[in-house]
Structure 1
Amino acid sequence: MIDLGYSLSRRFPDPPQMDYRTADVHALRHDLFCGDVYIADTKADRELSTSWGWVPVLDFAWALCDIVEQLDRDPRGNRSARTIHAELDFTESSDRLLFERRFGWVDIDADWMPADEPPLSFNHSALRREARDFLHDLIADLTDMHDGLDDNPVIWDLQARFPRV
């Protein structure tokens, strides 16, 4: 079972004068909604998490959805033995989440984890479903907290690009 989550930082609050209706892609992905994120395997009771307080959580959710789609480019899908790699880099550091898909499984590892610790491993279609649910749940939370965000065309496009599965 996959659990994706976040917490917003109190150290890096969003600017109170921000007009969320007109915030551009750069602001939405890099400047706003900072905090921490985690990916957990509840069955194995293991997780990969950040504890930096400055990770743009909307960018994380957006990038995770992009990566899951990128990992699905092989036309053979779950039957493919070819390994497909992707990475999610955190803008303000050299840390990365590393993704590797083979057959129908995706291994997720992190630069900051001990080398002897095995990666988290998830079924690709379950990861796609959970990533999209996480994105939509996050957007719902953020639009509840920030007036006008639900009127932003970038948010509309993002939700249309990655509908719930």
Structure 2
Amino acid sequence: MIDLGYSLSRRFPDPPQTDYRSADQHTLRHDLFCGDVYLADTRADRELSTAWGWVPVLDFAWALCDIVERLDRDPRGSRSATPVHAELDFTESTDRLLFERRFGWVDITADWIPAGEPPLTFGHAALRREARDFLHDLIADLVDMHEGLGDNPVVWDLQSRFPRI
């Protein structure tokens, strides 16, 4: 079972003059909503998490949805034995989440975990569903906290690009 979550940082608050209704894509992805994220396998009781406080959580959710789609480009889908790789790099550091899809499974590991630690492994379809749910739940939370964000065309486009499954 996959659990995706986040917490917003009190150390890196959004600028008080922010107009969320008209914020552009770069601002939404890189300058706002900083905090930490985690990705957990609840069955194995293991997780990959950040503890830096500055990760743009909307960008993380957006990038995760992009990566899950990129991992699905092989026309053979879950029958493909050819590994497909992707990485999510954190802008302000050299740390990365590394993804490898083979057959219908995705292995996820991180640069910052000790060598020899096994990856988290999820079914691709389940990861796609959970990534999209996480994105929509995160946007709903952020819209509740920030007036005007729900009227931002970038947010509308993002939600239509990755609909809930």
TM-score above 0.5: yes
- Aligned-pair CA distance for 1:16: 1.1
Query: Is 2:20 the counterpart of 1:20?
Result: yes
Partner residue in 1 for 2:56: 56
Partner residue in 1 for 2:39: 39
SS at match of 1:73: coil
Partner residue in 2 for 1:11: 11
Whole-angstrom distance in 1 between the partners of 2:5 and 2:27: 21
Partner residue in 2 for 1:124: 124
Query: Is 2:135 the counterpart of 1:144?
Result: no
Letter in 1 for 2:133: D
Partner residue in 1 for 2:67: 67
Partner residue in 1 for 2:91: 91
SS at match of 1:3: strand
- Aligned-pair CA distance for 1:116: 1.1
Partner residue in 1 for 2:109: 109
TM-score by length of 1: 1.00
Whole-angstrom distance in 1 between the partners of 2:69 and 2:25: 20
SS at match of 2:140: helix
Backbone CA RMSD of aligned residues: 0.3
Partner residue in 1 for 2:158: 158
SS at match of 2:137: helix
Residue by residue over 1:130-157, the C-alpha shift from the partner in whole angstroms, topping out at 9 and shown as x without a partner, is 0000000000000000000000000000
Whole-angstrom distance in 2 between the partners of 1:27 and 1:107: 31
SS at match of 2:40: strand
Letter in 1 for 2:136: H
SS at match of 1:65: helix
Aligned length: 165
Whole-angstrom distance in 2 between the partners of 1:129 and 1:116: 29
Partner residue in 1 for 2:100: 100
TM-score by length of 2: 1.00
Residue by residue over 1:75-100, the C-alpha shift from the partner in whole angstroms, topping out at 9 and shown as x without a partner, is 00000000000000000000000000
In the alignment, structure 1 segments of 5+ residues that lack a partner are none
Whole-angstrom distance in 1 between the partners of 2:97 and 2:161: 23
